[in-house]
């Protein structure tokens, strides 16, 4: 695991701590990003109204035909 790396002591411990902390931080960040941010963005983008170009073109054609 990463916990022994983060709390390592003795010669070479600084390198182990650095690797352990960076890896643990990346795993925590990735988990939080995947669990909170991605579903949140999905929810926000799902609420955005869909832009229907075909209907807009048909409306413009109808307006031109009625003139």
Distance separating the N- and C-terminal Cα atoms of the chain: 74
Average pLDDT along the chain: 89
What pLDDT score does 20 carry? 92
What pLDDT score does 48 carry? 80
Sorted by sequence, the CB contacts under 8 Å of residue 27 that are 6+ apart come out as 2
19-23 contact pairs (CB < 8 A, 24+): none
> Quick one: average pLDDT of 40-60?
85
Are the CB atoms for 20 and 8 separated by under 8 Å?
A: yes
């Amino acid at each position: 695991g990463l916990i022994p790396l983060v709390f390592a002591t003795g010669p070479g411990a600084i390198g182990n701590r650095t690797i352990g902390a960076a890896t643990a931080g990346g795993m925590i960040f990735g988990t939080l990003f995947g669990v909170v941010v991605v579903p949140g963005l999905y929810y926000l983008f799902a609420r955005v109204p869909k832009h229907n170009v075909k209907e807009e073109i048909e409306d413009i054609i109808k307006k031109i035909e009625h003139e």
